[in-house]
Structures are given as C-alpha cells and as structure tokens.
Amino acid sequence: MSAKIAVITWSLYGHVAELANDAIEGAKAAGAEVKQFQVAETLPSEVLTKMHAHKAATDALPVIKPDDLKEFDGFILAFPTRYGRAPAQVSAFFDQTGGLWATGALVGKFGSVITSTASQHGGLETTALTTIPWFVHHGINFVPIGYQFPELQEVQKIQGSSAYGAGSVTSGDGSLRPTEQDKTVAKGQGKHFANVVGQFVRGKQ
Ligand SMILES: Cc1cc2nc3c(=O)[nH]c(=O)nc-3n(C[C@H](O)[C@H](O)[C@H](O)COP(=O)(O)O)c2cc1C
C-alpha cells in the first residue's frame, strides 16, 4: 500500500507553488499517492489586486478542509514567509482544526515544510521552525531533510533550502524564480518524505 500524501499550498506569486510541484514529482517517484490542495484565501480581493497577487498556479486546486487531513498519512505544507513565520491564511486553517485535535485524529501522521523568503536571511528557517508547534500539538511527526543533499552546502550562490526543508529566495520584487538547486532539494524532499511515510505505512500493515 502506498503512502497517501497531501501537498497543501498557499502561494501569492507562485514561487512556493513551483517548489511544491517539484516535491510532488519526488514523492510520486517514490511511489506515493499525492493529492494537491490550496489553502483558503482570507484577504479581500481588492487587497490582493493591490498586492499584484498572481495565484494562477494554485487557483484551480481544491481548497483544503480540516476533515480532508484525516484521509492522508502525511502533509507537505508549502507557503512563503510572512514576517518569519507562516501566513495568516495557513494559521486560519489550523485554527479550524480543533475538532481534529480534540479527537487525536492526526496523531501519528507526518508533516514537512517548504517555504520561501524575499531576502536571504528573511526567515526561511524560522518559518519552518514556527510551524512545528502545529505539528506537535496534533501529534504529527515533523520530517526535516537534514543535510542529505549536497546543494545545502552551497555558499557561493544564493540557495534557499535548509535542514528544515526546501526553500527559495525570491528577491523583493519576486524576480528570482526557484533555482535548479532549490528545485532539486524540493524534489529530494518529496522523495524523502514519501519514503519515510511509506515505510511507516507498510510497517503498520
Ligand atoms: C506581508 C508580507 C510579509 C513578508 N515577510 C517577509 C519576511 O519576513 N522576510 C522575507 O524575506 N520576505 C518576506 N515577504 C516576502 C515573501 O516571503 C515573498 O513574497 C514570497 O516568498 C514569495 O513566495 P510566493 O511567490 O510563493 O508567494 C513578505 C511579504 C509580505 C506580503
């Protein structure tokens, strides 16, 4: 039986959505069954227009509902930073998961994080780190990537990934797209996550 993984994305300008697709490619290559979702928007459309939001990469995806989480063995969350932590949209989603928390519905499942920042030290690690409490309170096992990918040792070029998970640096105007290094790590993360979750799923059988 293959691992069932939900890739849950909120991406205003498409950078993280691109990395999420790379992670999906990696997870599928490792034999996982993958379904992709978007997180519900909470900003008014006039604000999104002023922010020049470009959500074409995720607009067609189904919006994740708390009960959807029960159907999966693991979740890869993909969202950009907001002040070094998760966007309010993601927080609003987790605020709706109290019923799942109360019944322990997510205990023993797995989670991983992919993110992006505009600046090089704008919070890639803190964004993943401050997501862990949601996992901890739900009993979800956080799956980091460690330093298994040589790309993580790169110091001559900008690279957005860390031991916490894949990431990209987008620049203030969003002109930097995820690099080949970022995409390789995201794909590797998807594969690693699918292997970890898959091993657990098979072991339980
Ligand atoms: C309200 C707001 C807060 C942000 N906070 C940060 C930040 O703390 N550090 C940073 O480097 N970039 C910050 N950014 C830039 C976003 O992280 C960047 O636009 C994002 O990584 C692009 O990813 P996306 O294309 O997937 O939306 C912020 C952007 C907004 C709109």
Residues in the chain where the model's pLDDT stays below 70: none
pLDDT at residue 46 in the model: 98
| Host domain of residue 97 | 4-204
pLDDT at residue 30 in the model: 97
Give the number of domains in the chain: 1
Q: Report which protein residue has its CA nearest ligand 1's atom 3.
A: 82
pLDDT at residue 59 in the model: 95
The domain spanning residue 33 has which CATH number?
3.40.50.360
Close Cβ partners of 169 (under 8 Å, ≥ 6 residues apart): 116, 117, 118, 119, 120, 122, 124, 158, 159, 160, 176
For residue 151, the 8-state DSSP code is G
**Ligand 1 atom at minimum distance from 121 CA:** 11
pLDDT at residue 1 in the model: 77
Ligand 1 pocket, residues with Cβ under 6 angstroms: 11-16, 80-84, 116-119, 122-123, 170, 174
